[in-house]
């Protein structure tokens, strides 16, 4: 399989966006949308289709780098390097 996901079903549902599964490649976070009329989501740790443990969510690590290491004001700070707007940063750092 050449996919970056654990199974074809997860990849398909993320691509088609017909099921409330979401993925943020910048922080490698997976979740399920909560149907509350807002943008709430619940983190998931295992694939709902094949049961594979999903990769570690890197949101905390990303926040530490942005706020502590780079000393920026946030993710919308214009000084934020381009690599931190995609999965490039964690791939370069070997996460």
Tens digits of per-residue pLDDT, 10-67? Answer: 999 999 988 899 999 999 999 999 988 888 999 999 999 999 999 999 999 999 999 9
pTM assigned to the model = 0.84
Burial class of residue 72 in the structure, from the number of CB atoms within 10 Å of its CB (0-12 exposed, 13-18 middle, 19+ buried): middle
Confidence at 4, pLDDT banded by 50, 70, 90: confident
Same domain, residue pair 70 and 90: yes
Residues 46 and 67 in one domain: no
Check whether residue 17 and residue 52 sit in a common domain: yes
Residues 10 and 53 in one domain: yes
Whether the Cβ atoms of residue 3 and residue 14 lie closer than 8 Å to each other:
no
Whether residues 46 and 86 share a domain: the answer is no
Examine the domain organization and report whether 84 and 43 are in the same domain.
Answer: no
Looking at the fold, whether 1 and 40 belong to one and the same domain comes out as: yes
Residues of the domain holding 81:
58-95
Q: What pLDDT score was predicted for residue 44? A: 96
- Based on the structure, what is the number of domains in the chain? 2
């Amino acid at each position: 399989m050449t996919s970056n996901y654990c199974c074809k079903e997860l990849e398909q549902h993320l691509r088609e966006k017909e099921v409330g599964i979401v993925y943020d490649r910048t922080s490698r976070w997976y979740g399920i949308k909560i149907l509350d009329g807002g943008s709430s989501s619940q983190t998931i740790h295992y694939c709902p289709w094949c049961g594979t443990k999903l990769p570690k969510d890197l949101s905390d690590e990303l926040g530490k780098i942005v706020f502590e290491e780079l000393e920026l004001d946030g993710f919308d700070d214009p000084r934020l390097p381009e690599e931190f707007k995609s999965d490039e940063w964690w791939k370069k750092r070997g996460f």
